[in-house]
Amino acid sequence: MDAYCIEIRKLEGKFYGIEYHHVVRDQNQLADHLSKLGSSRTAILPGVFIQDLLAPSIKEDKEVQEVPPAKQLVLTVPSPPANWREQFIKYLTSAEVPTDKTEIECLIRRSKHYVLVDDNLMRKSAKEGIL
């Protein structure tokens, strides 16, 4: 599609102007009808002209190389996650907080749901205080 836009831009100087009109799909029943006829391979209506394009109508300067989908995949191996409980234990025992303001707010908000019991991090329940 980009190649077609480039070709249109080249021709733009030869006209007084070019206008692009976006037609909402619901208001473009004629194009929908023609696409359904083309995809179903039914008989062509009288008055409808057909032109089969066997080659691209533009010439591209660079050659596009097809890459198999298997080569396009980039595998990332996640590093082992840090123990999520460590930051809560540090905050609850020594009030040690990260340097980032948003991380501090998140840690303070989430730590309200936890309590230390015999150096073990436990989640508080809503009714009894400890789960």
Encode pLDDT of 44-96 as tens digits: 777 777 777 788 777 766 666 666 666 556 666 666 556 777 887 888 888 77
pLDDT > 80? residue 28: yes
Cα–Cα distance between 95 and 82 in angstroms, integer?
A: 19
Q: What is the amino acid identity at position 16?
A: Y
Cα separation, 118 vs 92, whole angstroms: 13
pLDDT at 3: 76
Tell me the per-residue pLDDT of 37-53, one tens digit each, with 9 for 90 and over. 778 877 777 777 777 77
Give the alpha-carbon dihedral of 85, 88, 92, 96, to 10 degrees. Answer: 120
Task: Please give the backbone phi and psi of residue 123, each rounded to the nearest 5 degrees, phi first.
Answer: -85, 135
Contact 122, 116 (CB under 8 A): yes
Q: Residue 57 pairs with which residues in a beta bridge? A: none
Confidence of residue 131 (pLDDT cuts 50, 70, 90): very low
Give the CA dihedral 4, 6, 11, 13, nearest 10 degrees: 150
d(CA 11, CA 17): 10
The per-residue pLDDT of the chain, averaged, comes to 75
Q: Is the pTM of this model over 0.75?
A: no
What average pLDDT score do residues 15-27 get?
77
Region 14-42: what's the mean pLDDT?
Answer: 79
pLDDT of 80: 58
The residues with which 116 forms a beta bridge, in sequence order, are 121
Q: How far apart are CA 45 and CA 34, in angstroms?
A: 10
